[in-house]
């Protein structure tokens, strides 16, 4: 199979879909890899390294899309990339369809085979290709949240961990999955007073076992969230309904229940966000303020730490790239139920109930 790796064009996105190590294994298995020039530069991976590993380097994204049977990338295709996509071409990447009708309709119209990283799902319901980036984003959520709590950044001016004689800040984590767990660990490590809310009691039991003493768990209800808002300093939005649009757990009217300078980091923004006032932002312009509440809603947080993220992502995706390249997408999806769950669009039709429900398609 011919595999193409274009350079990401989303603003401040420095990850890449395959590393030279991945290329070496794929070419050794008898496949060809074409990489767009400088695709790996932001992750510290040079064209020379890709060529040494067996790839051929092409000058433009158009050439990569034109030659490839399968495109392996990181972020969803943007409008500038839509015309490059060929009928029956396999696109293996994050899509987050539920956040964009335009993308969903464009991919249906393209006739491409869209296998979405974020909905590849193992029998235990875990998401092996979302998990590594959720680990990154969860840890980052506390780093950025702590920064924006600073007064010069528009925050209320509180140190997460407090100091001897002064209480720590209150961190509320909505959703105790991968993002939420990593965020809670980081916040707890800095000494904050952390509460994790989730609707999954089994998950709360597990978190209660493994978390340090400054992390409390609480069943997530609208009532519990409302009660927490007046004293919260930093909220991390980390809920997910697999493939579907996130529920709004904090509404527009709730902002006035928080004190000015509270920081909201809605990591779930890529699935529409779990805070009603959340709109996708970029690393170039990551925050905005409504009613004195700071909103951070960057949809590709891991893109800011590509040296970590590219390795973490590609070590998870690579086995599936091999599977698709070796068997073709139909046989790979028949043999591998996890991959089959990621198969969202092919032959001009949509095959994901959550996305279909979101857009009434």
Cβ–Cβ under 8 Å, residues 247 and 272? no
Report helix, strand or coil for 348. coil
Please tell me whether residue 270 binds ligand CC(=O)C(=O)O under the rule CB under 6 A: yes
Does 94 help bind ligand CC(=O)C(=O)O (rule: CB under 6 A)?
yes
* Interface pattern 281-300 for ligand CC(=O)C(=O)O (x via CB under 6 A): -------------------x
Query: Judged by CB under 6 A, does residue 133 bind ligand CC(=O)C(=O)O?
Result: yes
Whether residue 299 is annotated as binding a ligand: the answer is yes
Residue 10 DSSP class: S
Tell me the Cα Rg of the chain: 21
Number of residues that bind Mg ion (CB under 5 A): 3
**Selected binder of Mg ion within 299, 323, 324, 345 (CB under 5 A):** 299
User: Is residue 302 at the binding interface for ligand CC(=O)C(=O)O, with CB under 6 A as the rule?
Assistant: yes
Rank residues 43 and 89 by Cβ distance to ligand NAI and give the closer one: 43
Give the CA distances from residue 193 to residues 95, 159, 239, in Å, rounded to whole numbers and listed in that order: 35, 12, 20
Which one of residues 270, 313, 332, 344 is an interface residue with Mg ion (CB under 5 A)? 270
Whole-angstrom distance, CA of residue 19 vs CA of residue 291: 44
Distance between CA atoms of residues 91 and 99, nearest Å: 18
Q: Which residues bind ligand NAI (CB under 6 A)?
A: 118, 130, 133-134, 137, 174-180, 197-200, 203, 220, 238-241, 247, 249, 267-271, 298-302
270 catalytic? Reply is yes
Interacting partner of 352 out of ligand CC(=O)C(=O)O, Mg ion, ligand NAI, none (Cβ under 5 to 8 A depending on kind): none
Cβ distance 169 to 159 under 8 Å?
yes
Report how far apart, in Å, the C-alpha atoms of 71 and of each of 32, 91, 94, 274, 326 are. 12, 5, 12, 31, 15
Calpha distance 280→158 (Å, rounded): 25
Which residues participate in catalysis according to the annotation? 96, 270
**Residue set of the binding site:** 15, 75, 134, 198, 203, 220, 239-240, 267-270, 298-301
**Residue set of the binding site for substrate:** 15, 75
């Amino acid at each position: 199979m011919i595999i193409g790796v274009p350079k990401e064009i989303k603003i401040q996105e420095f990850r890449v879909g395959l590393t030279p190590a991945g290329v070496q294994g794929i070419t050794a298995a008898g496949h060809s890899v074409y990489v767009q020039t400088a695709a790996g530069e932001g992750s510290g991976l040079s064209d020379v390294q890709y060529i040494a590993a067996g790839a051929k380097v092409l000058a433009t994204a158009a050439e990569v899309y034109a030659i490839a049977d399968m495109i392996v990338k990181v972020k969803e295709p943007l409008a500038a990339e839509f015309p490059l996509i060929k009928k029956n071409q396999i696109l293996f990447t994050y899509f987050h369809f539920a956040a964009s009708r335009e993308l969903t309709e464009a991919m249906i119209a393209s006739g491409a085979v869209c296998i979405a990283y974020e909905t590849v799902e193992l029998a235990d319901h875990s998401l092996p290709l979302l998990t590594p980036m959720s680990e990154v984003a969860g840890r980052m959520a506390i780093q950025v949240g702590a920064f924006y709590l600073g007064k010069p950044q528009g925050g209320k001016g509180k140190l997460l961990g407090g100091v001897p004689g002064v209480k720590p800040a209150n961190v509320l984590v909505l959703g105790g999955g991968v993002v939420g767990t990593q965020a809670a660990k980081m916040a707890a490590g800095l000494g904050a007073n952390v509460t994790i809310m989730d609707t999954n009691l089994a998950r709360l039991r597990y978190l209660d076992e493994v978390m340090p003493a400054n992390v409390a768990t609480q069943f997530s209800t609208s009532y519990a969230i409302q009660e927490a808002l007046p004293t919260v300093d930093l909220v991390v939005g980390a809920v997910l309904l697999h493939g579907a649009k996130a529920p709004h757990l904090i509404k527009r009217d709730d902002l006035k229940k928080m004190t000015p300078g509270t920081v909201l980091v809605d990591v779930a923004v890529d699935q529409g966000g779990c805070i009603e006032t959340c709109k996708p932002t970029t690393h170039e312009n990551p925050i905005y303020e409504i009613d004195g509440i700071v909103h951070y809603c960057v949809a590709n947080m891991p893109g800011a730490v590509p040296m970590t993220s590219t390795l973490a992502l590609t070590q998870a995706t690579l086995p599936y790239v091999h599977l698709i390249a070796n068997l073709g997408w139909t046989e790979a999806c028949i043999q591998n139920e996890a991959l089959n769950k990621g198969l969202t669009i092919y032959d001009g039709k949509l095959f994901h109930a959550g996305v279909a429900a979101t857009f009434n398609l």
